[in-house]
A and B are shown apart, each in its own frame.
Chain A
């Protein structure tokens, strides 16, 4: 196996030419998102360069504190992102979501790195990328789950009112919506597993193969990370919704939504 070809900066910058194609198509289709395209590519470049510099520094000067801080910042930003996408949640619901993301995500990460890989959980080379994948996917799942739940609260208003008036326990009325939101949130991850290896060679595996890892090793990592991602997303969404929806019910059996 050869080591990956180091990209030379002049050659690398040619890739930005591809964006001109996107711009041309947008212009032709009258999509007024050229500003977003420019901002998004610029932001991505800056953020990734900064992350690269930071990771280079951390890898050269490994310290448990750095690893812990990096993971903590990732968790913090993913929580903030989920909550900003769902501004209507009450404060106890928000707390349930935040704790779920942090607790479920971290426990799967620790199990993955510490037990399955058998590495020191403060090793930045393992801890940081794996945390990113697990937390990022959980974040997508929770966002989708909360959105679905919120939409069904609105759409099923008459059903909720009818059953409430009939003297049915609020939790029993809301639980089918919780389960439905969980299912919706999990489907993309599950479908992703179906196509893996046939339709898509996933990013992590591609990266490892490019950098010279044996394909069989890369595949084992990929399988492990997919299962970890699915479990983390499932646990996070389940826990967010289950501890969250209770905050909509009060001691007078009313539904506050």
Chain B
């Protein structure tokens, strides 16, 4: 059994979501399952500190989340949210914009292409994001986030805009990348076939 990346105790949000106590193992493929409305997306936002619990506690790497610098935490525990956002412009331009916001130099073109490849988005770097389909945008969005090299990757419905065939390919490649790089991956998905195919661990909420 791997060690836990997150543990929660008596966690509650907004007095209407009560979570069971959880130990989330540090593994490249932990799926959170449960009926809609059970607070899966909210849990991801609690884990990266963009929301605060109304009571209870979360420990990350054995340390109370409250004691982490929230910006450092979010850079290490990277959440790819459900709503895709890309700047107007090319794919390369998007890499530059996002890296600029993080005060980092843009990655090399090879590195951009590598991550686009991992996310099944092998488009030319000068492709205009405004003309892409929802599914294409979602994959480019994931590629940019993944390229930041997090320690923990949180994916919220990563395949919501993809068809079944694409879904499996993308998730397989992303999780393989996580396994190679030692990145823990926690995924929320309503797609049971993904859970069946790729879950190393399942946590029911």
A contact set with B: CB distance below 8 Å: 157-159, 161-169, 172-173, 252-254
Q: A253-B70, A253-B71 are in contact. Are A165 and B84 (CB under 8 A)?
A: no
- B87 and chain A: residue at smallest CB distance: A159
Contact of A159 with B49 at beta-carbon distance under 8 Å, contacts A165-B79, A166-B98, A169-B71 already known: no
| Least distance between B114 CB and chain A CB atoms (Å) | 19
Write out the residue numbers on chain B whose beta carbons fall within 8 Å of the beta carbon of A157: 83
A166 touches B85 (CB 8 A): no
Please, which residues of chain A bring their CB within 8 A of the CB of B71?
167-169, 253
Interface members, chain B 32-59 (any A CB < 8 Å) = 48-52
Q: B186 contacts the other chain (Cβ, under 8 Å)? A: no
Check if A166 sits within 8 Å of B84, measured CB to CB.
no
B148 CB-CB contact with A under 8 Å? yes
Which positions in B face A, CB cutoff 8 Å?
A: 48-52, 70-75, 78-81, 83-85, 98, 101-102, 141, 145, 148
| A–B Cβ pairs within 8 angstroms, 8 of them | A163-B101, A164-B74, A165-B74, A165-B80, A167-B74, A167-B102, A169-B71, A254-B49
What residues of chain B lie closer than 8 Å to A166, measured between beta carbons? 74-75, 78, 98, 101-102, 145, 148
B85 x A162 contact (CB < 8 A): yes
Residues of A with C-beta under 8 A to B148: 166
In the complex with contacts A252-B49, A252-B52, A162-B81 CB distance below 8 A:
yes
- Identify B78's interface contact among A158, A159, A165, CB under 8 A: A165
Across the interface, name the chain A residue whose C-beta is closest to B100: A168
Question: In the complex, A252→B74 CA distance in Å?
Answer: 11
**Chain A residues whose CB sits within 8 angstroms of the CB of B51 once the complex forms:** 254
From the candidates A159, A161, A167, name the one contacting B75 in the complex (CB within 8 A): A167
Total contacts A to B, CB within 8 angstroms? 59
Q: Say yes or no: A158 contacts B85, CB within 8 Å.
A: yes
Which residue of A158, A172, A252, A253 is within 8 Å of B101 (Cβ)? A172
Residues of B near A164 (CB, < 8 A) are: 50, 74
Known: A168-B101, A169-B71. A254 touches B85 (CB 8 A): no
Residue in chain A with minimal CB distance to B141: A162
What 8 pairs across the A-B complex have the smallest Cβ distances?
Answer: A167-B75, A167-B74, A158-B85, A162-B85, A158-B83, A253-B70, A165-B79, A168-B101
Give Cα A169–Cα B70 distance, bound, in whole angstroms. Answer: 10
Which B residues are CB-close (under 8 A) to A162?
81, 83-85, 141
Kindly state the separation between the CA atoms of A253 and B72 in the bound complex, as whole angstroms: 11
Inside 8 A of B70's CB, which chain A residues have their CB? 252-254
Asked whether A165 and B50 contact (CB < 8 A) given A172-B101, A252-B70, A253-B70, the answer is: yes
Return chain A residues, CB-CB under 8 Å to B78.
165-167
Known: A165-B50, A252-B52. A159 touches B85 (CB 8 A): yes
- Which residue from chain B places its CB closest to the CB of A168 in the assembled complex? B101
- Given A166-B98, A166-B145, A167-B71, also A254-B83 (CB < 8 A): no
The residue in chain B whose Cβ has the minimal distance to the Cβ of A165 is B79
Tell me, in angstroms, the Cα distance from A238 to B79 when the chains sit together. Answer: 33
CA distance A253 to B75 in the complex (A): 13
Q: How far is the CB of B133 from chain A (nearest CB, A)?
A: 16
Most B C-beta atoms less than 10 A away, residue of A157, A165, A173, A254: A165
7 more A-B contacts (CB under 8 A) besides A166-B148, A167-B71?
A158-B81, A161-B85, A162-B85, A166-B75, A173-B101, A253-B49, A254-B49
Query: Which residues from B are CB-within-8-Å of A252?
Result: 49, 52, 70
**Distance (Å) between the CB of A177 and the closest chain B CB?**
14
A165: chain B residues within 8 A (beta carbon): 48, 50, 74, 78-81, 145
Task: Tell me, in angstroms, the Cα distance from A172 to B102 when the chains sit together.
Answer: 10
Once bound together, how far apart are the Cα atoms of A172 and B101, in whole Å?
8
Cα distance A166–B150 in the bound complex, in angstroms: 10
Min Cβ gap B27→A in Å is 21
A166 CB to closest chain B CB, in angstroms? 6
